[in-house]
Structure 1
């Protein structure tokens, strides 16, 4: 039934995208599908992790049939606790991502309303390492398709975190719009001007980019007969030259991303992108802001190699951007408890600040600090970044739940 639903609903998605791309001259780089979280769909039928792996293979087959680049929704929402089926699902992730090509997985471990599921955080440290080992022959690329969230949105079209939220209609068209290069080019024309002009330039550029996304979304909705959902205007970099968020920060006046002032510059960028986007569409959603993945951003890679950008600085930057620690390669011998500690820190930032945060880190088996890893395509390449090796095992192994913050009580 899952295969039939996906292939029937999505059979014209790719061809329609290509038609719109050709007619309007607007590049549509990726076509993607997301489904309702599989931990919910398979909860009754799947009795063990292998059953969930079978579903993952079904998703992969369906994605290849309709021709999309990725399929999201191999996901679980466990911000407060886990059922037996959801635990089985989590245990299935390493194998599921090693035997599929296009499946992306996400796990929501916390929220401002529920707190942080520390049992899930501890377990995901192990799961991430096992996922890395299961795909070690391909530089642990399985972890590039796995992200953990706090406050995961229901309508995010970006991978690896996309899933079809339970609040959504049966079918819906979401469009993710990017364009870091466009913003950088606009800022080059106002180099040295004051902050008011800087902010206005970003905002106006974001408005124009979002209007293009609105056009694509409306046209796709009409041609496919599927309701339009949201526009997600997120400056999502790619490894291509000139398509970098870090280069925008440098154009704002920084020598490298990671220099003093980086968090302030990123806060400006994120806020003005949101303001411009909101004015351009009645339905702005998803993440909408600036992404700071390391391996997918040439400027970020250069900053790491220059010693300007560290894991700790990236964590500080996540307080003001749209996501979190993203596409960061770390040594393959990093302990599971250390990974859990990194996840816990990022979940806490999201929970307390009432925002989405995420962790997509890749412990690359067999490699250490000073090495580089090549993922290829849109995933790019990355230097292995050092991790604080002091132990947090006693903290993450306490078990239970971190309570929701006091300001979560709104009733």
Structure 2
């Protein structure tokens, strides 16, 4: 049981070290909304979301006030819409109507974001999958709070290179469709390999088909807490370093467990998982890069960066697992460029390149995240980057993802502003040698041999 003593123990972390519950995410199944009539489908989707989520925001606020724990976002995730809309939607334009319905429901419920405008195509695409994917640029341009994701590969199935090629084109189209906002639509679009179906973090959240009708997931974040803890053991051995990270992760996860239990009980919805992910913000002191530099690196990107990140990710997971029986999602360390002031500074000083970031994704929780690249980057080059990242995930049996932002009309050295938790990003150079002939082969990269375990 979690008691008020444990909550009081975290007061210093909350007040001085930027500990927060990043999100309460209510997952809602829309499978029972399926209908062959598009208008009726949209009505059912709106009714289900607004009925199940009507108390989400007020419950989050009540918990904040009662326990003094900041809950930054209240969010909703839904069943991948390609599955829900397959019967009624015969064109990309039909799917856009669902995106607008989701956006209206999110606004009326007062949530920050709604995830699940998604397709799962790791082995192949149905007509509904392809129509949804082709609708993404218009859907993200026409909505404010809807987030989209596409899972294009897995360790079990291999990589769907037809989907990889298509997603390179879709990302460029989304950048152009949202050019007036710094190509912000791309910030709401994630391409996954091995996507978890219990992820509360946007933009990649969706409610998995194996989940209950509704479930509460909580995402906790505390890079500032970890950095402050490491300051007290500066110069000491790796054993002490690891123990410090693990103990801190334990305490942070206990806060998430408390919030999750309270939200579950008050909403009358089952508790799913706590995701302890060190997700940074642009605020000074709330940086994963700052943690790595506190370990002894002159700058993120220096030799030793990948080893330091591997240590951090592993100890965060170990601490989290000891604090809750239901740790899930992506739990570990995120390395988004635009959302982490330390990462931005490292890019600007020339210490951190796209290639080094790719190497770091071998040991972090997600992948190439919130990275701005020149707007004139070819679609096949973007597809090649997606394929590289998917291969890392497939071979290593881990989740990887790509959230690239080809900033329309911008080139290397320019800055793209997003604002809020999204931050800003310097446009980074990308390898200009072509992979067009490789991407255009079509078909599927087969699963690795260890995929046959069962």
TM value normalised by structure 1: 1.00
Q: Map 1:2-401 to 2 at 5 A.
A: 2-401=45-444
Q: How far apart in 2 are the matches of 1:118 and 1:335?
A: 16
Q: 5+ unaligned residues in a row in structure 2: which ranges? A: 1-43
Give the C-alpha shift of residue 140 in structure 1: 0.3
Secondary structure of residue in 1 paired with 2:272:
strand
CA RMSD of aligned residues (A): 0.4
Q: How far apart in 2 are the matches of 1:155 and 1:201?
A: 28
Q: How far apart in 1 are the matches of 2:401 and 2:200?
A: 15
Secondary structure of residue in 2 paired with 1:253:
coil
Secondary structure of residue in 1 paired with 2:73:
coil
Secondary structure of residue in 2 paired with 1:132:
helix
Give the C-alpha shift of residue 248 in structure 1: 0.2
**1:26-72 CA-partner distances (Å, limit 9, x unpaired):** 01001100000000000111010000000000000000000000000
Q: How far apart in 1 are the matches of 2:387 and 2:71?
A: 35
Secondary structure of residue in 2 paired with 1:68:
coil
Secondary structure of residue in 2 paired with 1:31:
strand
Q: How far apart in 1 are the matches of 2:358 and 2:142?
A: 32
Give the C-alpha shift of residue 399 in structure 1: 0.2
Secondary structure of residue in 1 paired with 2:72:
coil
Q: 5+ unaligned residues in a row in structure 1: which ranges? A: none
Give the C-alpha shift of residue 144 in structure 1: 0.2
